[in-house]
């Protein structure tokens, strides 16, 4: 698949077949992230690949936080519950962390980790896999990082990965004119 085909074909996948993902495909995903560019080549990303019980521990943490909220707070967090369900269904969950950095490097390192995540999403598409980039972990990210032994790292996101059991249509995007700002006349 050509790069631009993968960019056009990629979708957020929220339904997965239970079929496990071959270890060499997971390695290919991590390899594509490894090759990503980063500010000052700091390579600030770290990945943890979870399946089975370990994966279930992440969604258990998310659910126990949700259960502590009052009903009004819960109403505003329905997508947290639906995302946890997707995470349970996907055979693989990749936790994505940013290594500790100075205040000055936060933006650079965070966008670098984001770029590496997109490498994974595009490579997943190329390999016939589906992926979902997840930030609903943000409410519990400190607990998750500590529970998995890395309390000093900033959890940036999680990625659900597996064989897609849906083929969603392209989601809407702004037009080019809407995203290119006119440069002021000088
Ligand atoms: C930073 C980021 C965080 C996201 N977090 C979630 C999430 O927690 N749960 C979810 O279902 N989708 C999440 N998504 C997926 C977006 O909803 C999705 O990319 C968007 O609706 C466009 O759909 P598409 O990816 O199929 O083009 C996230 C995407 C990004 C880039």
d(CA 14, CA 161): 10
pLDDT at 183: 95
pLDDT value for 84: 96
* Ligand 1 pocket member 171 (CB < 6 A): yes
Find all residues with CB under 8 Å of 147, minimum gap 6, and list them. Answer: 57, 61
Task: Please state, in angstroms and rounded to a whole number, the distance separating the CA atoms of residues 26 and 6.
Answer: 17
* Sign of the CA dihedral with 35 first, then 37, 38, and 41 last: positive
> Which of 42 and 80 is assigned the larger pLDDT?
42
Radius of gyration of the chain (CA): 18
Residue 184 reports pLDDT greater than 90: yes
What does the pLDDT read at residue 23?
98
**Which ligand 1 atom is nearest residue 168's CA?**
26
Task: Give the position of tokens 């290919």.
Answer: 28
pLDDT at residue 156 above 80?
yes
Whether residue 140 has its Cβ less than 6 Å from ligand 1:
no
Is residue 1 over pLDDT 90?
no
Per-domain boundaries in the chain: 3-179
Segment 81-95 shows an average pLDDT of 97
In short, whether 83's Cβ falls inside 6 Å of ligand 1 is: yes
pTM > 0.95: yes
Q: Classify each residue of 19-46 as buried b or exposed e, where b means 16 or more C-beta atoms within 10 Å of its C-beta.
A: eebeeebbebbbebbeebebbeeebbbb
pLDDT per residue over 62-72, tens digit each? 999 988 989 88
Q: Give the model's pLDDT for residue 58.
A: 98
Fold entry, domain 3-179: NADH Oxidase (3.40.109)
Identify the pLDDT of residue 30: 99
Give residue-wise pLDDT tens across range 99-144. 999 999 999 999 999 999 999 999 999 999 999 999 999 999 999 9
What is the residue-averaged pLDDT of the chain? 96
């Amino acid at each position: 698949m050509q790069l631009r085909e993968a960019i056009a074909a990629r979708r957020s996948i929220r339904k997965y077949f239970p079929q496990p993902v071959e270890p060499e495909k997971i390695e290919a995903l991590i390899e594509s992230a490894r090759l990503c560019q980063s500010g000052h080549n700091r390579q600030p990303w770290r990945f943890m690949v979870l399946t089975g019980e370990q994966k279930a521990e992440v969604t258990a943490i998310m659910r126990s936080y949700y259960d502590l909220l009052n009903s009004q707070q819960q109403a505003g967090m329905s997508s947290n519950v639906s995302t946890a369900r997707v995470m349970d269904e996907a055979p693989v969950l990749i936790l994505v962390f940013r290594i500790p950095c100075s205040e000055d490097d936060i933006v650079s390192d965070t966008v670098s980790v984001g770029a590496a995540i997109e490498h994974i999403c595009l490579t997943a598409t190329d390999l016939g896999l589906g992926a979902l980039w997840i930030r609903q972990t943000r409410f519990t990210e400190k607990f998750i990082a500590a529970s998995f032994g890395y309390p000093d790292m900033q959890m940036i996101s999680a990625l659900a990965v597996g064989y897609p059991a849906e083929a969603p249509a392209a989601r809407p995007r702004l037009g080019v004119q809407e995203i290119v700002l006119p440069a002021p006349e000088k």
